[in-house]
Structure 1
Amino acid sequence: MMNEQRTWVANAIAKIQADFQRSADTHLIKVNLPQLAGIDIYLKDESTHPTGSLKHRLARSLFLYALCNGKIQQGTTIIESSSGSTAISEAYFARLLGLKFIAVMAKSTSQEKIEQIKMYGGECFLVDSTEMIYAESEKLAKELNGYYMDQFTHAERATDWRGNNNIADSIFQQMQLEPHPIPKHIVMSAGTGGTSATIGRYLRYHQLDTSLTVVDPENSVFLDYFKSADSSLTSCLGSKIEGIGRPRVEPSFIASVVDEMIRVPDAASVAVTLWLEKVLGRKVGASTGTNMYGVLKLAQEMQSKGQTGSIVTLLCDKGDRYLDSYFNPEWVENNIGDVSPYLAHLDNFLQNGSSLDF
Structure 2
Amino acid sequence: MSWSTRALDTLAAGPPTRLIDFPVRVPGVRLLLKDESGQPTGSLRHRHARALFRQAVLDGLITEGVTVVEATGGNAAVAQAWFARRLGLPYVVVMPGRRDPARARAVEALGGECRFVTPPLAIYDAAREIEGHFLDQFGRAAPHDLAEELFAQVRPDWVVTGAGTGATSATLGAVAREFGCRVAVADPDNSAYFPGWTLDVPDYATGMPSRIEGVGRPRVEPGFRPDLVDLVVPVPDAASVAAARLIMELTGLPVGGSSGTALWAALELAGRMRARGETGTVVSLVGDAAERHLATYHDDAWAAAKGLDVAGRLAELRQRV
Q: Shorter chain as normaliser: what TM range?
A: over 0.9
The number of residues matched between the two structures is 321
Matched, 1:11 2:27: no
Contact map agreement 2:267 2:320 (CA 8 A) in 1:
no
Q: Aligned match of 2:260 in 266, 279, 289?
A: 289
Aligned-pair identity (%): 37
The alpha carbon displacement at 1:29 in A equals 1.2
Equivalence for 2:164? 191
Separation in 2, partners of 1:267, 1:233: 24
| Residues 158-178 of structure 1: CA deviation (Å, up to 9, x unaligned) | 43xxxxxx2112112111xxx
Q: Aligned match of 2:33 in 18, 26, 43?
A: 43
Separation in 2, partners of 1:85, 1:195: 15
Matched, 1:61 2:51: yes
Contact map agreement 2:99 2:115 (CA 8 A) in 1:
no
Check 1:282–1:245 CA distance in 2 against 1; reply closer, same or farther (3 A cut): same
The alpha carbon displacement at 1:108 in A equals 8.5
Check 1:109–1:266 CA distance in 2 against 1; reply closer, same or farther (3 A cut): farther
Equivalence for 2:304? 333
Q: Aligned match of 1:147 in 116, 119, 133?
A: 133
Structure 1 alignment gaps of length 5 or more: 160-165, 176-181, 351-358
Q: Aligned match of 1:169 in 148, 160, 169?
A: 148
Q: Aligned match of 1:215 in 162, 182, 186?
A: 186
AA at the equivalent of 2:76: T
Matched, 1:254 2:225: yes
The alpha carbon displacement at 1:337 in A equals 2.1
User: What SS does structure 2 have at the residue aligned with 1:88?
Assistant: helix
| Residues 290-345 of structure 1: CA deviation (Å, up to 9, x unaligned) | 00000100111112233211101111100423222212222221125222210122
Equivalence for 1:80? 70
Contact map agreement 1:270 1:326 (CA 8 A) in 2:
yes
The alpha carbon displacement at 1:260 in A equals 0.9
Contact map agreement 2:46 2:79 (CA 8 A) in 1:
yes
Q: Aligned match of 2:110 in 113, 120, 123?
A: 120
| Residues 176-230 of structure 1: CA deviation (Å, up to 9, x unaligned) | xxxxxx32211111010001101101023x2x32221111111111112212333
Separation in 1, partners of 2:210, 2:309: 17
Compute the RMSD of aligned alpha carbons: 2.1
Separation in 2, partners of 1:149, 1:173: 29
Matched, 1:28 2:19: yes
Contact map agreement 2:205 2:220 (CA 8 A) in 1:
yes
The alpha carbon displacement at 1:126 in A equals 2.1
> Comparing 166-175 with 330-339, which one deviates more in the overlay?
330-339
Question: TM-score by structure 2 length?
Answer: 0.93
The alpha carbon displacement at 1:45 in A equals 0.6
The alpha carbon displacement at 1:348 in A equals 4.0
Larger radius of gyration: 1
Contact map agreement 1:83 1:109 (CA 8 A) in 2:
no
User: What SS does structure 2 have at the residue aligned with 1:186?
Assistant: strand
AA at the equivalent of 1:107: G
